[in-house]
Amino acid sequence: MPWFIWLLAAAGLGVAEFFTLTLVFGLLAGAALVAAVVAGLGVGLLGQLVALGVAAAAGFVLVRPVALRQMARSPLSREGSDALVGKPAEVVQEVTATHGLVKLAGEAWSARALDESHVIPVGALVDVMEIDGATAVVYPRELLP
């Protein structure tokens, strides 16, 4: 089979991978590229099919599990306001269930208490449990009186 037929097959499989994102068609496209190289070297059809099969098997056995594992991982770094969750803050203005002010990452943030029964006094250290819009939802680090 001519090498350019393998290239066309690789391109078609690449397009299919683009639309499905399953990592199956992409690996088959890579195997078709290997078969194209083998065909370009003048190896017969049987050799081309063997190269295709070996490359596809190697992709499915070696590459696909690693790629799927990497895709399943959550990102190591959080960005924006998500990065503030879990950070400590200091109460600047008394924090209640509805209002308050904390110093968080060097900035003043509006805040409210996670537990609606808490009234957190000025100077107390709190942990940011979540960010709700422009409001930090906080919980005291120590027991309140």
Residue 22: the pLDDT is 87
Q: Is the pTM of this model over 0.85?
A: no
Local confidence pLDDT in tens for the 145 residues of the chain: 899 999 999 999 999 999 998 889 999 999 999 999 999 999 999 999 999 999 999 999 999 999 888 888 876 666 778 888 989 999 999 999 999 999 998 999 999 999 989 899 999 999 999 999 999 999 999 876 6
The count of other CB atoms within 10 Å of the CB of residue 135 is 15
The count of other CB atoms within 10 Å of the CB of residue 131 is 17
